[in-house]
Structure 1
Amino acid sequence: MATAAPEVEIVDTMRIACDGGEGALGHPRVWLQIPADKGFVECPYCDKKIIHRDFEGKV
């Protein structure tokens, strides 16, 4: 049985919010800061990888 890969989202800002995106089936909203040296952050609840546009294709 294969496990689905975590979702990836490309964003334009270094500070973003993640709530799981599924309404009542999501998770509590958390605010995440993308480190300027890494260019991405992963949500601790849903494992979504959020990448800043400047780092797209580099991480």
Structure 2
Amino acid sequence: MTTEAPEIRIVDTYRISCDGGEGALGHPRVWLQIPEDSGWVECPYCDCKMVHKEFEGKV
């Protein structure tokens, strides 16, 4: 049995929110800041990886 990789979302801002995206089955909304040097951040609740569009394919 394999575990699916966490979701990866390409975003166009460095400050983004994540709520799990599944309504009542999601998680509390959190605001995350993508560091401009690394270009990505991971949600501490759902492990979704948010990648800024300028870093797409580089992370």
TM-score by length of 2: 0.99
SS in 1 for 2:41: strand
In the TM superposition, what is the alpha-carbon distance from 1:28 to its structure 2 partner? 0.2
Give the letter aligned to residue 15 of structure 1.
Answer: R
Is structure 2 residue 24 aligned with structure 1 residue 24?
yes
Give the letter aligned to residue 18 of structure 1.
Answer: C
Superposed CA RMSD: 0.3
Aligned to 2:4: 4
Aligned to 1:45: 45
Q: Output the CA distance in 2 between the equivalents of 1:9 and 1:30.
A: 15
Task: List structure 1 segments (4+ residues) > 2 angstroms apart after TM superposition.
Answer: none
Give the letter aligned to residue 34 of structure 1.
Answer: I
Q: Which ranges of structure 2 fall in alignment gaps of 5 or more residues?
A: none
SS in 2 for 1:58: coil
